[in-house]
Structure 1
Amino acid sequence: MKNEILWSLRLGFSAEQSKTIEKLGIEGFLKQSFEAPYNTTVPDLLNDSPKTFEDFKAIRKIKKEDPEKSKELIKKESQTLHELKAWWIEQIISNEFPLREKMTLFWHNHFVTSSQKVKVNYWLFQNNQLYREEAFGNFKTLTKKVLQTNAMVRYLDNTDNKKGKSNENLSRELLELFTLGIGNYSETDIKNGAKGLAGLGIGIDGAKYHPFYEDNDPIEYLGKKGVLKMNEMVDAIFDHPKIPYLLTKKIFQWFIYDQPKEELIHYYGNYFKKVNFEIKPLLVKIFTEEFAKKETAGAKIKNPLEYSLQLVDELHIENPNINALVLFLRQQGMDLFNQPNVKGWDGGNSWLTSQIYLQRNNLADLLCNGRNFNRQKSPSENNIPKKQSVTVSLEWNPNENNKEIIKELTDRTLFSVDKSSQEDFEKILKYDFDPKSPGANNAVLRLFNAIVKSPEFQII
């Protein structure tokens, strides 16, 4: 696999940007990715959705007074959530430089907020847009902003955190999963952190402190003493010597290595601290230096979105059925806006269980044969139209022989091809293959289908 193709897959979701990387170089590509425009508008699908806590309370009142109407509202919001997932995938597919969307997805899986608990789709969208806006910004700034979102305080139960009646969920995950990692704080820090966050609950434009529920007693938190609130607590966290390493490791796992070496984490983590937790220079340093190594292929299992969008791109499927893709991602365990828990998607080997592998092979069969995947509908998807077929067009050179075509396809899809795989591919596209024959394109599609089912295709 060419290095430019590898990094197009890593910094996006397909090989579509490989020629741009080759033309601009990795630094020029990154510069354009950082500067590329993105959608800042609220999608129309949220026009009639609840947007405030008052709206949400009104729905809860309806639930008590009119159960049938409540069911209709719940069904409508479930449909809206599905459309919101589809809207996000459309942003990913339509963006010329998809790195911002890939970072948005990264933050989405770092600062997790799930639809099952948050309930209000507009609040989920607000967080999604915050991650998009701050994708390449400052980690410390983003941490503070996330704590001020209605989605986060509701998801981690800080609405139940009051003086004299603590809920430690947000305080714990702020340290354990969002910033420092296990072993770098004490249980006392968690308890005192809950006191500092007491009263931080749902507001009109975002989370705010409610004076009646606040705890204004002095606390000690990570060595800092005083009446500490959210901002002061985050400042204390970012003064901790271990702060750079958790996020640096997760960035490596998201883009390059499922199991990054400790020396890499510390080397880049120290740089991250040096640049005052700015994401953009960290990404530039990581990507340019790792790009230059040219020995990093095969170190990361593709997540379901990377896998499926690469297929869509290679087969040149125009206007793919996004609704069906939403359902496929859910089946693969990558349900957008609905991670299984606050830890988010595990990634790595969890993306390649025997069931997931079989599902991927089924998808490859269907798309290579010009058919859409069939999925049972949930009640919220009854009105979603299903396309039964797609037009596929695989790029290959009709002036080449069987071995040259195999090499052309494997060079842009696989990081390695062993002798056994090569022999299997040559059994599909035989030595006497005639590229000018009427069935030639179907034969090459059968070859491509076999290639994308190989274990090597699952890895970048």
Structure 2
Amino acid sequence: MNNNTLWSLRLGFSGKQAKTIAQMGLSNFLEKSFNASYDKKAPSLLDKSPTSIKELRTRRQEIKKSDPDAVKEMLKVEFQVSQEMKAWWIQKMMADDFPLREKMTCFWHNHFVCTYQKVKVNHWIYQHNQILREHAFGNFKTLTKKIVQSNAMVRYLDNVDNRRDKINENLSRELLELFTLGIGHYTEDDIKNGAKGLAGLTIGENQAEYRRLLENNDSITYFGKTGNFKADAMIDIIFEQKAVPYLITRKLLQWFIYDTPSEALVTYYGDYFRKVDFELKPLLTKIFTEEFSKETAGSKIKDPLVYILQVMHELNVEQLNPRLVAFYLKQQGMDLFNQPNVKGWNGGKEWLSSQMYLQRNNAADLLCNGRNISRRAQMTDNDMMETTSNQLLNVSLNWTKSGTNKSIIAELQDRLLFQSNDDLQKDWEALLKYDFNPKAEGADNAVLRLFNNMIKTPEFQII
């Protein structure tokens, strides 16, 4: 079992960083990851979409005045931009030499859920995503304040409809239930009064802003404190509550290492998180360095993103359109920018239903045969995706072209991170027989068949 490969998968999306971790050590790798630069400029794909309030109002007027076909075309363009944004993000995940920031961005993306389907403004979705990226290793309280006052979040959780004469509790409830404390650590009065404090926080030019005519300026009692509290002050009060650190430490352990972390670990790291005043960099460093030394392999089912990017990396696939990867993720229930609900992807066993397992095996067959992971080459109104599924891919598996069938099997097992039992070993040796000649014509294809068989086993689905 190659521990560096295991942690390359956990801190990124494939085994790409295994050698780097081995060469520089985990601590140096983490420091490089924390300090790695990232693109702060909006991608050109957003040039097609309105960005300012003025442009959005102009677009709405155009929609009101246009005939149905023109409206459909405008909405189609916006939907296509949302699909391009998925591909843009996947490309970043695949290309980064130090992908931990993108891995954390994806973690926060599933914690502070905002979907394009509900928000419908690509620029706001991008802003939300960029806030997560910028503060991925920063302070949890600061990040919470930024997200609650983002245009995407006030639209997604209906705070645009929350005003002093008509209170909407959605954002107030999820701020407590899903973002910070968890069920059982607040009262219904806290939700109601919190909603009053958030009343009037609505769409602004670059972030959400309070509107004087819509906000509530009455005193509220929030977690035992009374005053005229607004978003920032409310979040400060929330972070004084005892339960705050444990929701996040549980979710971080689930995202990176354990589908079912022990309560002892959740509490241990949560206590430390409070001690460092909710700073994420020291918390992540502590979790990763301490868990790295333990035998933790096999404690988590791979999410679809890690599964497909690991297979692509092993096969050295470079020309696969990231739009097809996005489409595959959607089929697997991990649709970027479009989680099924505000709770996000549940993960764990839900990543490995019988249907998803079959889809993974189909993708393995297609890639190992040099074909795209979608068999369809068409554009539909729902997916708006031009595919090139008939295009052949160049795939090549790196392996040591010497030794015996058993040494080659052992090499692949080490890279693919599972130990075989006697039955599996017999299966592998039936595929790659004792007299296998690594120099013979067709040797590459024989090892590729073995690899394909290995990645379709239940054992490969876990890390």
TM-score, normalising length: structure 2: 0.97
Which amino acid in structure 1 is aligned with residue 130 of structure 2? Q
CA distances 1:162-206 after superposition (whole Å, capped 9, x unpaired): 002111000000000000000000000000000000000000111
Task: Return the alpha-carbon distance in structure 2 between the equivalents of residues 243 and 414 of structure 1.
Answer: 35
Alpha-carbon displacement from aligned partner over 1:82-126 (angstroms, at most 9, x marks no partner): 100000011111110000000000010000001111000010000
CA distance in 2, matches of 1:11, 1:91: 15
Cross-structure match for 2:135? 134
Instruction: Give 2:456's aligned residue.
Output: 453
The offset of 1:65, in angstroms, is 2.1
SS for the counterpart of 1:220 is strand
Structure-2 residue corresponding to 1:247? 248
Going from structure 1 to structure 2, the CA distance change for 1:141 and 1:206 (only over 3 Å counts) comes to same
Report the equivalent of 1:378: 380
Aligned twin of 2:43: 43
Alpha-carbon distance in 2 for matches of 1:93, 1:152: 27
- Tell me if 1:165 matches 2:166: yes
Q: 1:381 to 1:432 in 2, by over 3 A?
A: same
Aligned-partner SS, 2:37: coil
Mean Cα deviation higher: 250-259 or 409-418:
409-418
Relative to 1, partners in 2 of residues 1:377 and 1:359: Cα closer, same or farther, differing over 3 Å?
Answer: farther
Residue 401 of structure 1 pairs with residue 399 of structure 2: no
Range that drifts further, 244-253 or 315-324? 315-324
Whole-angstrom CA distance in 2 between matches of 1:333 and 1:53: 33
Q: Output the amino acid matched with 2:353.
A: T
> Which residue number in structure 2 is paired with residue 340 of structure 1?
340
In 2, Cα distance between equivalents of 1:62 and 1:422:
65
Contact 2:79 2:384 in 1 (8 A): no
Q: C-alpha distance in 2, partners of 1:129/1:111?
A: 12
Aligned to 1:435: 438
Q: Mapping of 1:17-166 within 5 angstroms?
A: 17-66=17-66, 67-166=68-167
Q: Please report how far the alpha carbon of residue 334 of structure 1 lies from its aligned counterpart in structure 2 after TM superposition.
A: 0.5
Match of 2:221 in 1: 220
Aligned letter for 1:416? Q
Give the stretch that moved more between structures: 386-395 or 348-357.
386-395
Q: Measure, in 2, the Cα distance between the counterparts of 1:224 and 1:454.
A: 56
How far apart are the structure 1 equivalents of 2:350 and 2:385? 32
- TM-score of the superposition, structure 1-length normalised? 0.98
AA aligned to 2:137 is F
**Contact 1:79-1:380 at 8 Å conserved across structures:** no
Question: Can you give the 5+ residue segments of structure 2 that lack an aligned partner in the other structure?
Answer: none
Q: Which residue of 2 aligns with 1:14?
A: 14
Count, aligned residues: 459
Q: Tell me what 2:413 maps to.
A: 410
Supply the AA of the counterpart residue of 1:372.
N
Deviation at 1:52, TM superposition (A): 2.9
Residues 185-196 of structure 1 mapped to structure 2, 5 A cutoff: 185-196=186-197
Amino acid at match of 2:288: F
What is the alpha-carbon distance in structure 2 between the residues aligned to residue 68 and residue 447 of structure 1?
52
User: 1:254-312 CA distances to partner (integer Å, 9 max, x unpaired)?
Assistant: 0000000000000000000000000000000000000011x100001111110000001
Q: Tell me the equivalent position of 2:280.
A: 279
Separation in structure 1 between the aligned mates of residue 158 and residue 55 of structure 2, nearest angstrom = 19
What residue identity is the alignment partner of 2:380?
S
Contact 1:85 1:326 in 2 (8 A): yes
- Greater shift, 380-389 or 252-261, is seen at 380-389
Cα distance change, pair 224–64 in 1 and its aligned pair in 2 (3 A)? same
Q: Deviations over 1:421-457 (max 9, x none)?
A: 1111111111121211111111100000011001111
Deviation at 1:59, TM superposition (A): 3.0
Question: Is this contact kept in 2: 1:244–1:272, CA < 8 A?
Answer: yes
What is the aligned partner in structure 1 of residue 237 from structure 2?
A: 236
Structure 2 Cα separation of the partners of residues 111 and 382 of structure 1: 26
Give 1:382 deviation, angstroms.
5.2
Determine the C-alpha separation between the residues in 2 that align with 1:327 and 1:137: 31
CA distance in structure 1 between the partners assigned to 2:445 and 2:113 by the alignment = 43
Q: Which residue of 2 aligns with 1:176?
A: 177
What SS is found at the alignment partner of 1:225? strand
CA contact (8 A) 2:6 2:417 kept: no
Q: Distance in 2 between matches of 1:383 and 1:405?
A: 40
Alpha-carbon shift at residue 56 of structure 1 (Å)? 3.0
For 2:452, the aligned partner's letter is N
Measured after TM superposition, the shift of residue 224 of structure 1 is 1.5
**Residue of structure 2 in register with 1:288 after alignment:** 289
- How many angstroms does 1:73 deviate by? 0.6
Q: Which residue of 2 aligns with 1:197?
A: 198
String of CA shifts for 1:5-25, please: whole Å, max 9, x gaps: 110110001111111111111
Please report the RMSD computed on the Cα atoms of aligned residues, expressed in angstroms.
1.2
Counterparts of 1:87 and 1:51 in 2: how far apart (Å)? 18
Gaps of 5+ in 1: none
Q: By how many angstroms is 1:380 displaced?
A: 6.3
Q: In structure 1, give the amino acid aligned to 2:61.
A: K
Identity of aligned residues (%): 59
Describe the superposition over 1:340-398 as per-residue Cα deviations: whole angstroms up to 9, x where unpaired.
00000111011000000000000000000111122464326556352521101101111
Q: 2:49 touches 2:78 (CA, 8 Å); kept in 1?
A: yes
Stretch moving more, 62-71 or 122-131: 62-71
